[in-house]
Structure 1
Amino acid sequence: MKMYGLGTCDTCRKAEKALRDKGLALTKVDVRSDGVKEAELRRFFEAFGQKLINTRSTTWRGLTETERAGEPIALLKAHPTLMKRPVIDDNGALYLGWDKAVQAALLG
């Protein structure tokens, strides 16, 4: 299982703790320091569409209208913190966020 997020994100930390407490093997990818390959971003965008972009973030609010209208993958590559998180890849099954439905699916 791979989790894409930020080390400073409270939601990512909660997800990581819960997954590790359940005994699941987890590889953490920090989207800011480690980066995310374009192929992965495309796969995530195909799965989640515009939901992948966190339009409530400080980074989003700091963008110009022209930047916001840009190609989503390029936007995520330039500003990785725009990605809603965590994105969890469980052997090919993708999950976005850490809501009750994701918790139920991954923790049982």
Structure 2
Amino acid sequence: MRFFGLKSCDTCRKARKSLSPHYQMRIIDVRDDGVSRGDLARFYQVFGDRLVNRRSTTWREIDEAMRSSNPVDLLAACPTLMKRPVIEHRGLVYLGWGQDVQAALLDRIQASK
């Protein structure tokens, strides 16, 4: 499992805490480690505009020209704009830590007990 997030993100911390007893994770901090352009393009292909966090502080700080640029270019320049976490597991990619993602990754474990 690859886990893309931020160390300082509360949602990412909750997700990691819930997942770590059940999965071996490779944690990628989008600020410190970066995200490859290939991963960003693939994530954008799957999630579209939902991948860009327009509620973030970073979004409010960038100018209109950057906001209107190609989303993959924007995320490459400002990786903290990526909605988090992005979790990649067994060929599937999940966005955020909503009930749907929790059900997909944790309910399966509970059912097998």
TM-score band, normalised by the shorter chain? over 0.9
- Unaligned runs of at least 5 residues, structure 1: none
The one-letter code matched in structure 2 to 1:33 is D
Matches within 5 A, 1:38-57: 38-57=37-56
Residues 55-105 of structure 1: per-residue CA shift (max 9 Å, x gap):
000000111111100011110011010000000001210000000110000
C-alpha distance in 1 between matches for 2:104 and 2:90: 13
CA distance in 2, matches of 1:5, 1:31: 6
Report the AA paired with residue 64 of structure 2: E
Q: Scaled by the length of structure 1, what TM-score is found? A: 0.97
**Residues 1:27 and 2:26 are matched in the alignment:** yes
Query: Where does residue 4 of structure 2 map in the other structure?
Result: 4
Match of 1:61 in 2: 60
Task: State the partner residue of 1:88.
Answer: 87
Q: TM-score, normalised by structure 2?
A: 0.93
Gaps of 5+ in 2: 108-113
Percent identity reads 53
For this pair of structures, how many residues does the alignment match?
A: 107
| Pair member with larger Rg | 2
CA RMSD of aligned residues (A): 0.6
Q: How does 1:65-84 map to 2 (within 5 A)?
A: 65-84=64-83
Q: Show the counterpart of 1:14.
A: 14
Please tell me the residue identity of whatever aligns with 2:61.
Answer: G
- 1:94-105 paired onto structure 2 within 5 Å: 94-105=93-104
